[in-house]
Structure 1
C-alpha cells in the first residue's frame, strides 16, 4: 500500500486548547505522527514524501481571503503588545455577513470557529504539507492503486471554506475530493471520525457533485454541537447529497456497523467511482474523547465493510489521539481494507 507523509507536518506544535472553560494540553501533537506511521507500516504501507501540487487545489476549496489570513496572521499577531505565541480568538461575530475587520484580533475571531485551532509559527507550513499529502494519495489512485493512505496532520474535516476549527485548518479530505472531481471522477467522502465532519459538509452542502456522509457521536451533547443532525440533507443542488448518521454515545461495533451499512447503501446509490475515507480513529473505546466504543477488531470489520464497495479508496487521516492502541487501530483498519 502506498502511503504519504511530509516531515514538515511536524512544524505545527499546539500547546493548549480551551475546553469547559479550562486550559488543557492540546492532544493534536506531532507525536501522533510516529504512532500512526508505525501503525501504517505494520500493515505494509510504504511511505513516500508528496510532491508539491501548489496552491491551486487548495484554493479550489478555500477562499483566497482565508488563505491569506492563515499565511500572515501569526507574524501580525506577534506585533500586538503582550500577545501570546499562539493565535487564539477571544471574540466571534454573531453572524458572518458583517464587517471584515482589519484588526488581527477581529480576523482571528472571524476565521477561527473556536479555541481548539491555535495558530503558531509553524502552523501554515504543516497544514500546507498535510494538504499536499492528501493530494498525493488521491493522485495515486488515479494511477491505478486500489488503496492509498495519507498521514495528514494536522487533520482537516472541521475546516470550512474560510473557517478553521477543531484542530483543523485546511480540509484535506475536501481538497482531495475536489481534485479527484477535476480529474473526471465522481467522489464520495465517507467520514468515520467520532466527530461530525462539519467543515466538509459546509463546503459541499449546496453541491450535488460530491456526496458527503458522516458517522459520528450525536452532536446534541458532543462537539461540534451545531452541525451533524440527521435532518441536514443538503440545500439547493446538494439536497439529498449529504447524509448524517449521528450515533448515541457509547455505540459499539455492532451499532456502528449497522449505521455504516446505511452509509454504504447511499454511496452505491450515488454511483461514486472513488471514495475518500476521512479516517478518524477517535471512535475507539480508549480514545481520550470517549464518544463511541469501537474496538480494535471492530476497525478491521469496519474496513472490510468499506472495502466491499469495490471502489478505489483514498484514506485521509483525521482524528485519533494519544493512547496506547492508536497505532494498532490504524494497523487493524488498513489490514481490513486489504
Structure 2
C-alpha cells in the first residue's frame, strides 16, 4: 500500500487549546506525524510525496471567500496592535446569514467555529499540503490502486465549506471524495473517528451522489455536540444519504464492530464503488480524549471488516492523539485491511 505525506505538514504547530475554561497545550501536535509514519512503515507502506493538484480540488469543496481567509488571515492578524501569535476568535455571528465584516477579528469569528483551530504562521501551508496528500491518494485509487493511506495532518473532518473547527481547516476526506466523484466514481465516506464528522456531513448534506456515514461518541455529551445525532438523515436530494451511528461513551470492540456492520451494509446499499475512510484512531481505549475503549486488536478487526466490502479504499488520517500505541493502532488497521 502506498502512503502519502509531505514534509511541509510539520509547519502547523498549534499552541492554544481551551477545554472546560482552561487553556491547555493543543493535542494536535506535529509529533503525531512521527508516530503515524512509524505505523505506516511497520504496515509495509511505501512512502511517497504528493503531487500538487492546485487550488481547483480545494475550491470544489470550500468557498473562495474561505480559502482567501485561510491564505491571508495570519499576515493580517499580525498587523493588529498587540495581537497574539495565533489567530483565535473571540466573537461569533449568531448564524451564517449575518453580515460579513471587513475586520480580521470579525472574519476570524465567522470562519473559525471554536478555539481549537488556531491559525499560525505555517497553518495554511500545512493544511494545503495535507489536502494535496488526500487528493494524491484519491488519484491513486482512480488509477487502479486497491488501497492507499493519506497521512493528512492537520486533519479535516470538522471543517465545513467555509468554517474551520476542531483542529481542522480543509476537509481532506471531503476533497478526496469530490475528486473521486469528478473521476466518475461513486464514493462513500466512512468516518470512524470518535468525534462526529460534522464538517463532512455539512458539505454533503443536500447531495445524493456521495454517501456519508459516521460512527462516533454520542454528541449529546461529547464534541461536536450540535451535530451527529441519529435523526440527521440529510435534506432535499440528500435525504437518506447521511447515516449517523452515535454510540455510548466507553463503547468497546464488540459494540463498535456491531455498529460498523450497520455502516458497511448501508455503503453496500448505496452501491459505492470506492470508499474514503476518515480514519480517526482516537476511538482507542488509551487515547487522551477517552471516548471509546477500542483495543489495538480491535483496530485490526475494523480494517478487516472494511476490506470485506471488496472496494478500493482510501484511508485519510483524521484524529488519534499522542499515546504510545498511536502508531501500533495505525499498523493494526492497515495490516488488518491488507490481510483480509
**TM-score tier (shorter):** over 0.9
Q: Is the 8 A contact 2:159 2:169 kept in 1?
A: yes
Q: Deviations over 1:45-64 (max 9, x none)?
A: 01000010000000000000
1:1-338 to structure 2, matched below 5 A, reads: 1-338=1-338
Q: Shift of residue 325 of structure 1? A: 0.3
* Structure 1 residue 22: Cα displacement: 0.6
Tell me, yes or no, if the aligned pair for 2:16 and 2:115 is still in contact at 8 Å. Answer: no
**Alignment partners' CA distance in 2, 1:304 and 1:48:** 24
Q: Is the 8 A contact 2:213 2:242 kept in 1?
A: yes
Q: Deviations over 1:217-250 (max 9, x none)?
A: 0000000000000000000000000000000000
Tell me the CA shift for residue 202 of structure 1: 0.1
1:303-325 Cα shifts (integer Å, max 9, x gaps):
11110000000000000000000
**Which consecutive aligned stretches of 4+ in structure 1 deviate over 6 angstroms post-superposition?**
none
Shift of 1:283: 0.2
Shift of 1:16: 1.7
After superposition, the C-alpha distances for 1:53-112 in whole angstroms (9 at most, x for unaligned) are: 000000000000000000000010111111101000000011110110000000000000
Q: Is 263-272 or 14-23 further displaced after alignment? A: 14-23
* Counterpart Cα distance in 2 of 1:58 and 1:93: 25
Between the aligned partners of 2:208 and 2:83, the Cα distance in structure 1 is 43
RMSD: 0.4
Query: Helix, strand or coil: the match of 1:93?
Result: coil
Q: What do the CA deviations read for 1:131-167 (whole angstroms, capped 9, x no partner)?
A: 0000111111112111100000000000000000000
| Secondary structure in structure 2 of the residue aligned to 1:190 | strand
- Counterpart secondary structure, 1:303: helix
Q: Give the whole-Å Cα distance in 2 for the aligned partners of 1:73 and 1:22.
A: 25
Distance 1:65 1:19 in 2: 29
Gaps of 5+ in 2: none
Counterparts of 1:119 and 1:16, CA distance in 2: 10
CA distance in 2, matches of 1:334, 1:237: 34
SS of aligned partner of 1:105? helix
Deviation at 1:25, TM superposition (A): 0.3
Indicate the SS of the match to 1:246.
Answer: strand
Find the aligned partners of 1:103 and 1:206 in 2 and give their Cα distance: 31
- Distance in 1 (CA, whole Å) between partners of 2:174 and 2:134 is 9
Report the Cα distance in structure 2 between the residues aligned to 1:79 and 1:138, rounded to whole angstroms. 39
Q: If the length of structure 1 is used for normalisation, what is the TM-score?
A: 1.00
Distance in 2, matches of 1:59 and 1:105, equals 24
Partner Cα separation in structure 2 for residue 284 and residue 261 of structure 1: 19
3-state SS, counterpart of residue 220 of structure 1? coil
d(CA) in 1 for partners of 2:302, 2:31: 26
